[in-house]
Structure 1
Amino acid sequence: MGNKRRRRQKLPAEPVNIAIERMSNEGRGIGTLSGKITFVDGALPGEEVTATYTGRRSQYDELKTTEVLSQSSDRVTPPCPVASICGGCTLQHMDSAAQLQFKEGVLLNHLQHSANQTDYEVLPAMAGPTLSYRRKARLGVRYVHRKGDVLVGFREQGNSFITNMEHCPVLVSQVGQLIRPLRDLIHSMDTCREIPQIEVAVGESSAQSDENIDQDLVVSLILRHLQPLADEDLARLKAFADKYDIQWFLQSGGPATVKRFWPESGSDMLSYFLPVADDKSIRMQFSPSDFTQVNAVINRKMIRQAMSLLDLKPDDVVLDLFCGLGNFSLPMAQHCAQVTGVEGSQEMSERATENARLNNIDNARFFSADLFTEFDGQPWSDQHYSKILLDPPRSGAIEIVQRINELAPDVIVYVSCNPATLARDAGELLQQGYQMTHAGVMDMFPHTGHVESMARFVRKGSGA
């Protein structure tokens, strides 16, 4: 008996009706059945739905909506026909304005309950386009023998299967319309069973206004392949690139194996542009496999808001931690005496240095350091900074904020992709003698439960 696997609990087969009371932080409806907490995908507060079981735990059950019996005024028809299946978006059934209100509520609740913060200015929720916005994505690829077809797209909700989709309305239109052609292309290839992934990266060929930001896009696709590609398959890739005006990069192993394939000539780098004046923009170069923000319009608005909250002066010396390729650093350098950027990746810090050189910016310097372990004795840590911008990963920046008084900036702007760790770190900053003055959300990922936010802190007694 000890060697036998525990049998998976059989789920109830009969659908149930349930009233939805509220939403979880991830965007699932919450109700109760027989006194047990129940999470329901695809349901909104105030609705009564019919749902089927997808999982059972000792403390809660999980269900999926199959029919809406009583509809919320926030419910809309999803713009994507597979929205209820695809894991790329989980909130398309919710009005975009209601999504923003929900995300703001998630942030404010975290700040109140984890950091005991209620006395601050709530920034207006930052919105942008909700469709054709996504410039970065990893699409799964799978040959399905019983279907005699290839699937290309995001994983399904709650499992590792790839969604059977024909197009994607949240990817920039030049890419979203390629889903079916990509499926047909890979199905025609001899190595169709050995291609697990396509990575999407979109850049810009010229500087444009926010309104025209998608006018001159450059689409690059990285094809991950587990076996060498035959000459016939390479010819198919070339023909596809010429027909749809895209660039192919091939990846045979780890990230270091990403190489330009077609067109053969041209730069291996993509670009995006950040306006810094009426007639001037900063050009940011990046590799197709680099991390960049997925939403170009929100990225521009986010940078402007961060600089406004920092209230940069000509004599300010600014520290940009987790600076990436200089997305915040280089725009900030236009308005202050000096910017120092620090990033964990040596490659990305070098990219930031190259971008500064490309734009003739000589008051920005960049360093590589593990910000979760390294601090003492670093060439950047022995200087006083008047202001700091933090843009950490989901795990937050507790290692930095616990020692913030060693840097003692007057103002901190914290950009977060996880309201839970932002609230935790905000509580620590309060203990270190800082006061939170502003906080608000940014809709970087419309139709998902991702909550991006920004908060401003000032050192008490600094006069900032």
Structure 2
Amino acid sequence: MTTPLIKDEAIITALDHEGRGIAYQDERTIFIDNALIGEKVRFKIFKKKKKLFFAKSLEIINPSPKREEPICEFFGMCGGCSMQHFDISSQLAHKQRAFEQTLQHVGKVFPDQVLSPVSGPTSEYRHKARFRVKYVEKKQKVLIGFNEKLSHFLTDMDSCKVIPLKISSLLSPMQALFTSLSIRDQIPQIEYASNQERHILVLRILEALSENDINLLKDFQEKKGIEFWTQTKGYESVKPLLSSMQKSIVYKNKEFNLSFEFKPTSFTQINPFINAVLIRRVMNFLNPKPTEVIFDFFCGLGNFTLPIASYGSNVVGFESDEALVESANINAEKNKLQKLAEFKRVDLFKVDDQAITSLGRASKWLIDPPRDGALNLINSISEENKPNLICYVSCNPATLARDAHVLTNEKGYKFAKAGILNMFPHTSHVESIALFEINEQ
């Protein structure tokens, strides 16, 4: 029997968690980029795997009322954003549904209370980014930006709506600047970091800058009000372009009157606006009290640790990166919280129950792991080290769901509440926070 051909038009009946439209034809599932529920679209298939087909939309024949004009002219080409065709309320509703479905389907869990989603600015929110840089011989031009969607090619772009306007407006001038450098083909990336006052661009350079290169970069940064730093090898080689430039950078948490010194290549929250709300919600969940002991796992620079200490709690932050631990202890001292907050290096992906028990006893835990989650740590919970309460901040609903299953089914906790925060508008990324309490039943 001949398999029916895939038609090049379809009506979208669902969305996947990445925001792609889903259509069905003859028991085959087609994932179509840039398509919304209810829309009739014309598409072109670019990849197939058994009965799964992946396609690009070529024409929206019947647009959804929820479709919105993308804020960026490079949407659809650039792979940085995937949801600019949604209106923002629909984006948030989609992420909420995806979050709840992941908890139910992956973890077979659901919180007693679902919190309202939190949103903030939808443009110019991204204060940390990594740009690819490539000199294209045929164009005699340096490109700076993000990969094209579904491709390893670099998008030829001269603006970006999710980074601050100051940096977006410099993409085109920087392309011209870098094209004039002697090492134009030896700069593979730029690491951007900002504290909302200073804008630092760390150039990864594979060959030394010439004296003329340095002068060109120096003139540009003085005129444009930004700072060029360089990185020749590992992170330890990162330094300002000129020895006379300020070597430390600080971001402030005004609500808690805290200052955090950090390196431009260190991990910091990309969205400072949502981060402020997230810290506030973490404090509400933990309800820190004077003299009680709280552990902060995967603490980084102390983004949550120092606010906890400001309540008078004794808090210990644990992190595997030695440089982050060193910076966090310095920040505790500079904020005069060193008697309440201390930081220790521990590889939390290799601990067992004995190792966790040896850290001491804390009544409350905060866990903020990377995308891999904290399963090893969760499995290390025992009667000897068990906290009464766990606040879990997650950047991956699937690993949160997995870990929540263990906490509720094996470790004796109830899943009290959870909610999402729109840390990355226009993307499928879901940031969330969850609270687990000892089940007294």
TM bucket, shorter chain: over 0.9
Which residue is equivalent to 2:120? 128
Structure 1 position 461, deviation (Å): 2.0
Task: List alignment gaps of at least 5 residues for structure 2.
Answer: none
How many matched pairs?
A: 434
Which residue is equivalent to 1:213? none
Inter-partner Cα distance in structure 2 for 1:260 and 1:377 = 44
Mark the CA change 1:388 to 1:379 in structure 2 (over 3 Å): closer, same or farther.
closer
Equivalence map 1:73-222=2 (5 Å): 73-204=65-196, 217-222=197-202
Please say if 1:411 is aligned against 2:403. Answer: no
Q: 1:256 aligns with which of 233, 236, 249?
A: 236
Identity of aligned residues (%): 38
Which residue is equivalent to 1:311? 287
Equivalence map 1:189-338=2 (5 Å): 189-204=181-196, 217-262=197-242, 264-277=243-256, 281-338=257-314
Mark the CA change 1:188 to 1:380 in structure 2 (over 3 Å): closer, same or farther.
farther
Which residue is equivalent to 2:428? 449
Please say if 1:38 is aligned against 2:25. Answer: no
Question: Quick check: 2:356–2:385 contact (8 Å CA) kept in 1?
Answer: no
Inter-partner Cα distance in structure 2 for 1:43 and 1:70 = 10
Q: Which residue identity is paired with 1:225?
A: I
Mark the CA change 1:276 to 1:375 in structure 2 (over 3 Å): closer, same or farther.
farther
Question: Quick check: 2:299–2:368 contact (8 Å CA) kept in 1?
Answer: yes
Q: Which residue identity is paired with 1:454?
A: I
Which residue is equivalent to 2:417? 438
Mark the CA change 1:272 to 1:380 in structure 2 (over 3 Å): closer, same or farther.
farther
Mark the CA change 1:356 to 1:375 in structure 2 (over 3 Å): closer, same or farther.
farther
Per-residue CA shift, 1:228-250, capped at 9, x if unaligned? Answer: 11111111110111011111111
Q: 2:343 aligns with which of 321, 342, 366?
A: 366
Structure 1 position 273, deviation (Å): 1.0
Which residue is equivalent to 1:214? none
Inter-partner Cα distance in structure 2 for 1:319 and 1:311 = 13
Q: 1:355 aligns with which of 301, 326, 331?
A: 331
Q: Which residue identity is paired with 1:342?
A: F
Determine helix, strand or coil for the equivalent of 1:78: coil
Question: Quick check: 1:269–1:288 contact (8 Å CA) kept in 2?
Answer: no
Inter-partner Cα distance in structure 2 for 1:171 and 1:162 = 17
Question: Quick check: 1:131–1:171 contact (8 Å CA) kept in 2?
Answer: yes
Question: Quick check: 1:317–1:336 contact (8 Å CA) kept in 2?
Answer: no
Runs of 4+ in 1 over 3 A off after TM superposition: 375-382
Which residue is equivalent to 1:402? 379
Q: 2:399 aligns with which of 421, 428, 432?
A: 421
Inter-partner Cα distance in structure 1 for 2:354 and 2:379 = 17
Please say if 1:339 is aligned against 2:315. Answer: yes
Question: Quick check: 2:322–2:345 contact (8 Å CA) kept in 1?
Answer: yes
Mark the CA change 1:253 to 1:441 in structure 2 (over 3 Å): closer, same or farther.
same
Inter-partner Cα distance in structure 1 for 2:72 and 2:395 = 25
Q: TM-score, normalised by structure 1?
A: 0.90
Question: Quick check: 1:440–1:455 contact (8 Å CA) kept in 2?
Answer: yes
Determine helix, strand or coil for the equivalent of 1:455: strand
Question: Quick check: 2:111–2:417 contact (8 Å CA) kept in 1?
Answer: no
Inter-partner Cα distance in structure 2 for 1:305 and 1:180 = 39
Mark the CA change 1:401 to 1:379 in structure 2 (over 3 Å): closer, same or farther.
closer
Say what the alpha-carbon RMSD is for the aligned residues: 1.7
Determine helix, strand or coil for the equivalent of 1:108: helix
Task: List alignment gaps of at least 5 residues for structure 1.
Answer: 1-11, 205-216
Structure 1 position 376, deviation (Å): 5.8
Which residue is equivalent to 1:391? 368
Q: TM-score, normalised by structure 2?
A: 0.95
Structure 1 position 119, deviation (Å): 4.8
Q: Which residue identity is paired with 2:86?
A: M
